[in-house]
Structure 1
Amino acid sequence: MLRRYLIAGLLVWIPLGITIWVLKALVDLMDQTLLLVPGDYSTERLLGFHVPGLGIILVIAILLLTGALAANFFGRRLLALGDGLLSRIPIVRSIYGGVKQISDTLFSPEGKAFRRAVLVRYPHAGSWTVALVTGSPEHEVTDHLGHDQVSVFIPTTPNITSGFFLIVPKNETIELQMTVDEALKYIISMGVAEPPRR
């Protein structure tokens, strides 16, 4: 009986504690942006105490201003100029170019990366795993494999930030009705939190 109560308590507090810890870490990280604000305008100077979370407002404001700038003609020209400048610096070019290409792929509204979940055979023909579609190969890969291929990312359990990239025949995948969020929860939980049938 005592053991059951202990496990029930852990099941309540572990997710809650980890959620609070992650949120606090994010708020603390974003509050570091307040270092950009001159000391005379800090909350400690104006109010006499630190107000946690103001960094989130500053980050959102910076993102909105940058987005508004990038969305107009003048901003696009300025960004193209900055991209051209960064692409000429030897070490910066490789880091910035790779990160920019990945972020453009993942966050672009037109992008198809991580928009659907599929089942693929992995690590051998007798087993299946949940994978996220990242796109369809083009150019040289299709010269060797043909056009009926799909690129997938197979996240590892329970750390979904690492995983494996595979190119598999489209006809050897099974499209799932679950959303990408549901698929990630399913993977993180090691199959325990299976989403309900639609």
Structure 2
Amino acid sequence: MKRYFITGLLIWVPLVITGWVLSLIISTLDQSLRLLPEAVHPQHIFGFAIPGAGAVLTLAMILLTGLLAANFIGQKLVVWSEKILARIPVVNSVYNSVKQVSDTLFSPNGNAFRKALLVQYPREGSWTVAFLTGAPGGDIVNHLKGEHVSVYVPTTPNPTSGFFLMMPVKDVVELDMTVDEALKYIISMGVVAPPPHPRVVTNI
């Protein structure tokens, strides 16, 4: 009975958690329907609420915004709106900080979270998986001896929180592992191991 119960849990737990996460995301995105006038609201037209309509509207708005920003006129509008936000106290500091982080994370040319690393943390001899986020900058460079890299050490099973460290390049090992494989390994607390690769790991 115990074996059958555990087998059932292994089937149902991922399904239930996946459904719960999707339901939470869709219900959150459905809040965007409030931006629509009442006359064109799906519930007003069809007489009942349509789950996921807000998610479709949000994705459409993001794609349309990207399409408009890709041409000359759209780029001018983006620059103009950023200049306006830069003149608003408090808003400018928050917006600029978020924009710098988002540009670093989502830019196709960026290096943030493009490599999985093996580092010794929280003490020597204890190893964990981390992600490359870039290189130290500003006045910090003047106080570091030798070449360093910036790394993010996520916690498990929730990788959205973690620790930001600056470590010598010689102490960092680049893994022949994709970011997705590394995230699965972290979230599963080491249970879901990535497939072996033929290449031997080397220093970054």
TM-score range, shorter chain: over 0.9
**What does the per-residue CA deviation read over 1:144-181, in whole Å, with 9 as the maximum and x for residues that have no partner?**
22562111000011111110000111111111111111
> How big is the shift at 1:99?
0.8
Distance 1:66 1:12 in 2: 40
Q: Which residue of 2 aligns with 1:33?
A: 32
Q: How does 1:56-95 map to 2 (within 5 A)?
A: 56-95=55-94
Q: Which residue of 1 aligns with 2:201?
A: none
| Deviates further, 14-23 or 89-98 | 89-98
Instruction: Report the CA distance shift for 1:124/1:78 in structure 2 as closer, same or farther (over 3 A).
Output: same
**What does the per-residue CA deviation read over 1:55-85, in whole Å, with 9 as the maximum and x for residues that have no partner?**
1221121111111222122222221121122
> How big is the shift at 1:45?
2.1
Distance 1:165 1:135 in 2: 11
% identity of equivalent residues:
55
- The alignment's C-alpha RMSD in Å is 1.4
**Does structure 2 retain, via aligned residues, the 8 Å contact 1:119–1:173?**
yes
**How many correspondences in the alignment?**
197
| Deviates further, 141-150 or 184-193 | 141-150
**Does structure 2 retain, via aligned residues, the 8 Å contact 1:118–1:173?**
yes
TM-score normalised to structure 2 length: 0.91
Q: How does 1:129-168 map to 2 (within 5 A)?
A: 129-146=128-145, 148-168=147-167
**Does structure 2 retain, via aligned residues, the 8 Å contact 1:155–1:164?**
yes
Q: Which residue of 2 aligns with 1:42?
A: 41
| Contiguous gaps of at least 5 residues in structure 1 | none
Distance 1:79 1:85 in 2: 10
Q: Which residue of 2 aligns with 1:120?
A: 119
> How big is the shift at 1:30?
1.2
The amino acid that maps onto 1:177 is D
Distance 1:41 1:169 in 2: 58
**Does structure 2 retain, via aligned residues, the 8 Å contact 1:137–1:147?**
no
| Deviates further, 115-124 or 86-95 | 86-95
Instruction: Report the CA distance shift for 1:138/1:146 in structure 2 as closer, same or farther (over 3 A).
Output: farther
> How big is the shift at 1:133?
0.4
Distance 1:36 1:88 in 2: 26
**Does structure 2 retain, via aligned residues, the 8 Å contact 1:153–1:165?**
yes
Distance 2:161 2:35 in 1: 33
**What does the per-residue CA deviation read over 1:97-131, in whole Å, with 9 as the maximum and x for residues that have no partner?**
11111101101111110001010110011111100
**What does the per-residue CA deviation read over 1:23-67, in whole Å, with 9 as the maximum and x for residues that have no partner?**
011111111111222212222222222211121221121111111
TM-score normalised to structure 1 length: 0.94
Distance 1:35 1:69 in 2: 23
**Does structure 2 retain, via aligned residues, the 8 Å contact 1:138–1:147?**
no
